[in-house]
Amino acid sequence: MKIRYFDNAATTKVKKEVLEAMLPYLNEQYGNPSSLYSLGRKAKTGIEKARKNVANLINCNPNEIYFTSSGTESDNTIIKQIAKKYKKNKKHIITSKIEHPAVLHTCQVLEKEGIDVSYINVNKEGIIDLEELKRSIRNDTFLITIMSANNEIGTIQPIETIAKIAKIHNIIFHTDAVQACGNMPIDVKKMGIDALSLSGHKINAPKGVGALYVKNGIEFDKFMDGGHQERNKRGGTENVASIVGLGEACLIAKNNLEPHIKHLQELRDYYIKQVEEKIQFVKLNGAKSKRLPGNANFSFEFIDGSALLFKLDEKGICASSGSACTSGSSEPSHVLKAIGLPDNLSKGALRVSFGEENTKEDVDYLINSLIEIVNELR
């Protein structure tokens, strides 16, 4: 049976070009990048080339990029390190109710350590309430952290506006751009972003590698004790091959951004139109226009989402009910609850996230399968 993959928000396939760029650093250029001999220097060169490619994707300086193991590590690092830096004088963070668990759970840990956190509401499309954000700012607010685009419903936030609000009040602004990088233009200078998290496995690089952008001038302490790697911020021998893979994936994403977005939008819009026309009692979750090009999240009324996923899997279709990071929870999605969706609709949610290998024929197969399964389950 042919596998049709529609869960690119959970993870993406490593590109052939990315794998080819990685292989020499696994079996030929295997030196430790901290070594002074040529084998080590070649590994170090691979890392620095990757750093430039990551920086070019988001338009920052290479020395503002720090390699990590994941988007989750990047989120944890910047939020906790900034809190550590400011906690003597400032005690307040602002975030939203629909953030990824990497941000929400980090903020909850900090609350136990005496940091106040404001969780801003969103409207029915998942767009943050800017007026509530402004009202929540205090004299001791030191960080605003709002995701660029939501991993479940695809809603894109007004990042430039939020950044301007933060700048007026001299507050550091961080964005979790794990879903956004490679799927929409990101320019940290133009958008006014002070810190940003991204992940390799969302943009056709391997799992286990990510990056953190921190604007020059923002001070933060070493977050991994050990050697002097990553400009003395993150000790430990670098994951050279995966870092090289991330750099190659960022280079490809930068060079192919417009056709990539166009392809995903065409598939997404076709899918949404077909579902709304051919299946009764469905609701599109998230913004109609301000959403990631490859994201479509529908609630199917009178349907259990888990049963729907199992039936789709029997037909070789990979999709999800929401974030892969919360799939072990029996609770309805916190994102869908935040946009006001009742539990019966939340539990019938199906997230489809398209990738560049998907075709219109794949989408037709998905739609026909959905029609059959929904009728059967109802």
Catalytic residues: 325
What contacts 328, CB < 8 A, 6 or more positions away?
Answer: none
Residue 146: CB atoms within 10 A of its CB come to 23
User: Which residue matches tokens 């007004």?
Assistant: 158
User: Which tokens hold the place of 171?
Assistant: 């507050």
